[in-house]
Amino acid sequence: MNYKVPLALVLISVSLYYFLSPASPLSDTQLTEHLNDKVVLICGASSGIGEELAYQLAAHGAKLVLVARSQDKLDKVRVELLDRGTIAGNVMTISFDFSDVSGSKKVVDQTLEKFGALDYLVSNHATMAAGPILALPDLHTTDYIENIFRVNLFSHIELAIHALPHLEKRKGHMFFTSSILGEVPWYMASIYTSTKHAMNGFFYSLQQELLARDSPASLTVGIFGLIRTKEVDSQFPDKTPFYDWTIGSLEGCARVMMEAFVTRSQTVTFHKLAGVTYRALWYFVPRFYHDDMIEMTKPFLYSPEE
């Protein structure tokens, strides 16, 4: 097969998106003017993207409600925030496991009890289900699969439903952290990938519904690739098949999220070059996913005997 045409289409797509997409027009001063004294609920705030976002928001004067399963980790984030000069009364932590889908409403209720308002919801929590499902029988159980969907999809929907009336009162905004795996396949995480595909389908549809009803609230779907968190570094040590160009910085990711609060972008991709490249490869060179990526990653999952 001649790959000159699809490869040319990939290069054209990447070039147009990457070079013609406008840079963010927002300065630190503009962010502070917009975020100072705003109430932000961050779910999945004890590490990684959520933790970094908390530090950056606090630097711009936001009031924070931080949610995660581990109270110990949340306490460490809180201590770090106070060490950086955040006023103690501007930070609240809630230990909560989002596999309790119906209990998600309590997170919104506690935010309102503390601050009396809600300006931004950051629905960032997720649980990873890694590994090829046919090779790992533990991934086959109904309880396991349902738990992943409860955390990665159903709890986000519940949060949106319960937060929306309060966000509309403040002309607020929601940010839902999805993944490039919500747009392309990856056999090494098929259950996780399916939750992100479903998440994109629901929240892009919800965007349309908000527009149809002229809602004063809005939402962004964040399409993230690999972000250089401690968890990613531990999962992909020296043998990683990925290269530095495919991994975005934690600081840059949090900045993009804050800017979306102001610009109210319907979607943001981070980091942009990797995300657009993966999309273009999927549409124009599907062999990359069905042959090349499998060959690159198979040695890390299957032993020669298998």
Confidence of residue 218 (pLDDT cuts 50, 70, 90): very high
Catalytic residues: 192
Instruction: Report whether pLDDT(47) > 90.
Output: yes
List the beta strands (DSSP E) in the chain.
Answer: 39-43, 63-68, 91-95, 120-123, 173-179, 218-224, 226-227, 247-248, 267-270
Domain ranges (residues) in the chain: 4-297
pLDDT of 300 reads 57
In this prediction, residue 287 has a pLDDT band, given cuts at 50, 70 and 90, of confident
pLDDT of res. 304: 42
Round to whole Å and give the CA distance between 181 and 169. Answer: 33
Is the pLDDT at 120 greater than 50, yes or no? yes
pLDDT, average across residues 116-123: 98
Comparison of pLDDT for 5 and 161, the residue scoring more = 161
Out of 3.20.20.70, 3.40.50.170, 3.40.50.720, 2.115.10.20, the CATH code matching 4-297 is 3.40.50.720
User: Residue 298: what are its φ and ψ, rounded to 5°?
Assistant: -55, -40
Of 24-28, 138-142, 151-155, 294-298, the one with minimum mean pLDDT is 294-298
Greater confidence (10 vs 69) lies with: 69
- pLDDT tens for each residue of 271-284: 887 788 888 888 88
The sheet with strand 91-95 has its strands ordered as 91-95, 63-68, 39-43, 120-123, 173-179, 218-224, 267-270
Per-residue pLDDT, 17: 56
Tell me: pLDDT of 238 over 70. Answer: no
Q: How many CB atoms lie within 10 A of CB 269?
A: 23
Asked whether the beta carbons of 175 and 120 are under 8 A apart, the reply is: yes
**End-to-end Cα, the chain, rounded Å:** 30
Query: How many alpha carbons fall within 13 Å on the CB side of residue 152?
Result: 24
pTM: 0.87
3-class secondary-structure state, position 271:
coil
Quick one: pLDDT at residue 305?
43
Taking each helix axis as running N to C, give the angle between helix 48-59 and helix 71-83, from 0 to 180 degrees, rounded to the nearest 10: 30
Segment 70-114, tens digit of pLDDT: 999 999 999 999 999 999 999 999 999 999 999 999 999 999 999
